[in-house]
Chain A
Amino acid sequence: MAILSTADTARVREMLGAMVDPVRLVFFTQTLNCETCEPTGRILKELAELSDLITVEEHNLLLERDEAAKLGIDRVPAIAVLGAQDYGIRFLGIPSGYEFMSLLDAVLTVSKADSGLGEASRALLAGLPSPLELQVFVTPT
């Protein structure tokens, strides 16, 4: 059963028309003890079907620890959104409901390689003295 409705599918496909660079969704999953892994995989597969520029790369966290460590991932389900480079964008947990829109937004932003931020924000972020890690806690509804 499709997760996205026909209407959503058409709308998402249209939005993805604005993509520029290819985007890789590197998805870490496991078969046991992860209720949301399988549906997360289905959501990503449906999303990738809507643009030739999106690919999904599935890894098993337990079997591919090195790959996961390279991307700083130690949980499932987890998604690294990679474009022309790794901008450091990750999603932990299933991107359903409202979070699907966040994932879509991340894909578009990474693909355009443009934050879309205002001038003042860009100025604040230029030349940061040290790393800045943002953990954004959300719920899907």
Chain B
Amino acid sequence: MAVESPRVTSIVVEAGEYPDLVRQYRVSGVPKTVVNGSVEILGSRPEEDFVRAAVGALPAVAP
């Protein structure tokens, strides 16, 4: 997704090494994706579902 769009950044976080981030984002299982620090996508999903969920986390109109 990050390669597809210049607006997307993707950070893979090894949960075991960053207990502070795990606490901050209440990670209780993996994979878990946090979109823009708030919206959560749990588990792994088919590609298109995942993209839809991630893009759906954005406000409809740019601020």
Q: What residues of chain A have their CB less than 8 Å away from a CB belonging to chain B?
A: 36, 72, 75, 87-95, 99, 102, 106, 109-110, 113-115, 117-118, 120-122, 124-126, 128-140
Judge whether A140 and B14 touch: CB under 8 Å: yes
A139 smallest CB distance to B (angstroms): 5
Which residues of A sit under 8 angstroms from B21, Cβ to Cβ? 135, 137
Q: How far is the CA of A95 from the CA of B16 in the complex (A)?
A: 12
Q: How far is the CA of A129 from the CA of B6 in the complex (A)?
A: 11
> Of all chain B residues, which has the CB nearest A110?
B3
- A-B CB proximity, top 6 nearest: A93-B14, A88-B9, A115-B4, A129-B62, A93-B17, A121-B51
A38 smallest CB distance to B (angstroms): 14
Q: A121-B4, A124-B52, A125-B4 are in contact. Are A136 and B11 (CB under 8 A)?
A: yes
Judge whether B62 and A93 touch: CB under 8 Å: no
Judge whether B9 and A93 touch: CB under 8 Å: no
Judge whether B27 and A137 touch: CB under 8 Å: yes
Which residues of A sit under 8 angstroms from B48, Cβ to Cβ? 118, 120-121, 124
List 8 A-B pairs, Cβ < 8 Å: A88-B10, A89-B10, A114-B3, A117-B4, A125-B4, A129-B60, A132-B5, A138-B15
Which residues of A sit under 8 angstroms from B52, Cβ to Cβ? 124
A47 smallest CB distance to B (angstroms): 15
Contact of B5 among A109, A114, A125 (CB under 8 A): A125
